[in-house]
Structure 1
Amino acid sequence: MRSETVTSLAQAARLRPPLAGGVRVVAIEGRSGAGTTVLADALAAETGWPVFHMDEVCSERTGPAASVELLALWVVMPLLNGADPRWRRYDRKLGRPAEWHSIPVVDGLIVEGCGCGAAEIRPYLSTLVWVDTPDGVRHQCPDAQDDAAGHAPHRATRARQEESFYAEHSPWEYADVVVDGAALRRSLRNAGE
């Protein structure tokens, strides 16, 4: 699935300087259900760059603040030292860290999810994208996911954690690109038909 938005973003991202070692990091930030994963997957298909999902290291108890620390430690620092990112997945069912993963990175990496546009991460980002999606659209998305029942009890807590994070970091103010999440979904859906 291709869209003009994704193609333009991929072209622009390739032209930005690498700020995390020799790697161009594109951060796709937005509230839960905004479409950051949809955009990250489409951009990965367009660029061939791997994706790191903030949700993989985030627990419902700790929220975005702890994930930012892990992003810095497990993704940014290795890139700055010429190594590949290596992180430990958080198993939500068991409520504890699980197996280790690594991503081979050549010249670009896409990071998506709440927290990736944090103030302490921004100096290493080649491109910061804010996905702006109306609340009505965002709230429909989690209900459509396969693991909706498992996330339902944590939604209110997650929303409070996000609001606290966004009050402190306001990544949309620093975004290089703002994407309309609802329009992006429509264009990707139309491209897939």
Structure 2
Amino acid sequence: MDGGGWAVELARLVQAAEGGPAGNRLVTVDGFSGAGKSTLAARLAQVLDAPLLTLEEIYPGWDGLAVSPALARRWIGDPLAGGSTLRWCTWDWDRDAPGPWRSLDPAPAVVLEGCGAGARVLTPVTSLSVWVDTSAEQRERRLHAREDWAGYAPFRARWSEQERALAATEHSPERADVVLDNTAVPI
């Protein structure tokens, strides 16, 4: 599907998916760094007219990937399912310390993107999980081309190891409701 047709189709799947107890829907967009999750999630959120939240705001530093899905469940998934205000603590990457708290009123649908968004702990409160897949070579090319590569490069190996560990136990294309091959999708 080119021209964004994939986003319209995913939006239909989201609208058809079962909501939580309050009727709200959490859509997770997961995949490895450089797969194109942020770009694709932004397009999906736009089509759904839904807020886009990113786990990058929640990860507690460069060694915090493993704990972030549980934080997302507590701060985003459970409140959304219950129709309550979502409230999460951001991470200040410049200071390498907790940042300000943010909040969001529950919306009919919320898109949560980031590595770990499709983890098992979020499954009970997720209406539709999307895995963005791309070859390792393409992911690395994309990462090197990003504006923030210089700041990310020193932590790449460390982060990549955490991604692999999480994928081995918590999230993977096999667990997703939808796998989007981003090799074929222009971003």
TM-score over 0.5 for the pair: yes
Deviations 1:123-178 (A, max 9, x none): 11110111110111111222222222111111000000000000112431121111
Instruction: Find runs of 4+ consecutive structure 1 residues off by over 6 angstroms.
Output: none
Structure 2 distance, partners of 1:103, 1:149, is 32
Q: Distance in 1 between matches of 2:43 and 2:68?
A: 23
CA 1:84 to 1:132, structure 2 compared with 1: closer, same or farther past 3 Å?
same
Aligned-residue sequence identity (percent) comes to 33
Report the TM-score, using the length of structure 2 for normalisation: 0.93
Matched letter for residue 77 of structure 2: V
Per-residue CA deviations over 1:97-132 (Å, capped at 9, x if unaligned) read 111112233210001111111111111111011111
Counterpart contact for 1:27–1:125, Cα < 8 Å:
yes
Alpha-carbon RMSD across the aligned residues, in angstroms, is: 1.6
Structure 1 residue 47 displacement after superposition? 0.8
Contact kept? 1:36, 1:112, Cα under 8 Å: yes
Pair 1:20–1:60, CA change in 2 (3 A): farther
Q: Which amino acid aligns with 2:50?
A: W
Q: Quick one: which amino acid aligns to residue 6 of structure 1? A: A
Q: Which residue number corresponds to residue 144 of structure 1?
A: 145
Q: Which runs of 5+ in 1 are unaligned?
A: 189-193
Matching residue of 2:181: 180
Structural mapping, 1:20-169, within 5 Å = 21-169=22-170
For 2:15, the aligned partner's letter is R
Q: TM-score, normalised by structure 1?
A: 0.90
- After TM superposition, give the deviation of residue 73 of structure 1 in Å: 1.4
Q: Is the 8 A contact 2:83 2:106 kept in 1?
A: no
In the alignment, is the contact (CA less than 8 A) between 2:63 and 2:159 conserved in 1? no
Is the contact made by 2:118 and 2:129 (CA closer than 8 Å) also made in structure 1?
yes
Give the letter for the 2:107 counterpart: V
- 1:28-51 deviations in Å (ceiling 9; x for gaps): 110001111111100011110001
Q: Would the aligned equivalents of 1:86 and 1:102 in 2 still touch at CA under 8 Å?
A: yes
2:52/2:113 contact within 8 Å kept: yes
Distance in structure 1 (CA, Å) of the matches to 2:60 and 2:142: 20
Provide the C-alpha distance between the structure 1 equivalents of 2:46 and 2:27, rounded to a whole number of angstroms.
14
Q: Is the 8 A contact 1:74 1:86 kept in 2?
A: yes
**Aligned amino acid, residue 120 of structure 1:** V
Please state how far the C-alpha of 1:20 moved relative to its aligned partner: 6.0
Structure (1/2) with the larger helix percentage: 1
My pick for the range that moved more, 115-124 or 166-175, is 166-175
Matched residue of 1:121: which SS?
helix
Tell me the number of residue pairs that the alignment of Structure 1 and Structure 2 aligns: 186
Partners of 2:112 and 2:59 in 1: CA distance: 13
Tell whether the 8 Å contact from 1:49 to 1:105 is kept in structure 2 after alignment. Answer: no
